[in-house]
Structure 1
Amino acid sequence: MIRSFLIGIVAGQRGITPLAAIATATRHGDIPADLPFQNLLLNPVIAAGTAAFAAAEMAGDKMKSAPDRIVPIGLAVRSVTAAYAGAALAPRDQRVLGAAIAVAAVLASSYAGWRLRCAAMTRYGQTATGFVEDALVLGSGLAIASRR
């Protein structure tokens, strides 16, 4: 269940990255394609689409007009993607619990990450802190979803 918790933390920082990480892990055979719609992630076009959406979210984060991660719609999207990823990473008989753990983690980490990012932005700016956060989130998401 630690992987479900950790992917929830990732989703708290970038909402689409967990789907891209699950797509990558599914295509590499690191996690079974047992969940509804997970077989779609085996399709290279769909998998590339998740990566493209994750990249677009990361690019959008650097814009001055980017909304805070704690706005209600942002929290809703993060909760949905975290629940799906948390369930995919949980043992088969504990998928509901894995989803719940991921959602709890996403809600807490969204607020914590927002506060940390705001503090860092005052010193280093939006773009630099965003790139550092992107690197941490992407690397962590892929590592969490991968068995290797």
Structure 2
Amino acid sequence: MLRSYLIGLAAGQRGIVPLAALAAAGRRGMLDEDMPLAKLFKNPLIAGGAVALSAAEMAGDKQKTAPDRIVPIGLAVRSITSAYAGAAVAPKGQRVTGAAIALGTALATSWIGWKLRVTAMERYGQTATGFVEDALVLATGLAAADPTLAGQTV
């Protein structure tokens, strides 16, 4: 369930990263064939779209007009993407638990991450803190999508 936790952690900070991480894994052939919608994430157009949306989210986060991650629409997006991705990376037979772990982690860490970021921005600014956060979130999302992390095979 480590992978579900990690994907939830990433989703709590950037709502689209879980989809981009699944797309990257799908393009590398690292997704379970029986994962719901696995074929979509292997499609170059869908995978590219997920990555582009994630990049747009990261770029938008650096704008002064960017909404806080804890606004209702942000929490809704995180809820959907984290639950799906958490289920997708969970072992067979544990997908509901994986979805619940990822969803709970995403919602809890969105608030924690928001408070940490607001505090850091006072000292380092929005752009610098955003880039550091992006790097951590992207690494976490990619690690979560890699089945070798949990000693699993595809």
Aligned to 2:77: 77
Report the TM-score when normalising by structure 2: 0.93
Aligned to 2:55: 55
Aligned to 2:117: 117
4+ runs deviating over 6 angstroms: none
CA deviation profile, 1:4-60 (whole Å, cap 9, x unmatched): 011101000000001000111122122213233221111111101000000000000
Report the TM-score when normalising by structure 1: 0.96
C-alpha contact (below 8 Å) 2:86/2:101 kept by paired residues: yes
Amino acid at match of 1:49: G
C-alpha contact (below 8 Å) 1:10/1:140 kept by paired residues: yes
Separation of aligned partners in 1, 2:109 and 2:95: 21
Deviates more, 1:8-17 or 1:26-35: 26-35
Separation of aligned partners in 1, 2:23 and 2:79: 17
Separation of aligned partners in 1, 2:85 and 2:46: 16
C-alpha contact (below 8 Å) 1:26/1:33 kept by paired residues: no
C-alpha contact (below 8 Å) 1:117/1:129 kept by paired residues: yes
Unpaired runs of 5+ residues, structure 2, are 149-154
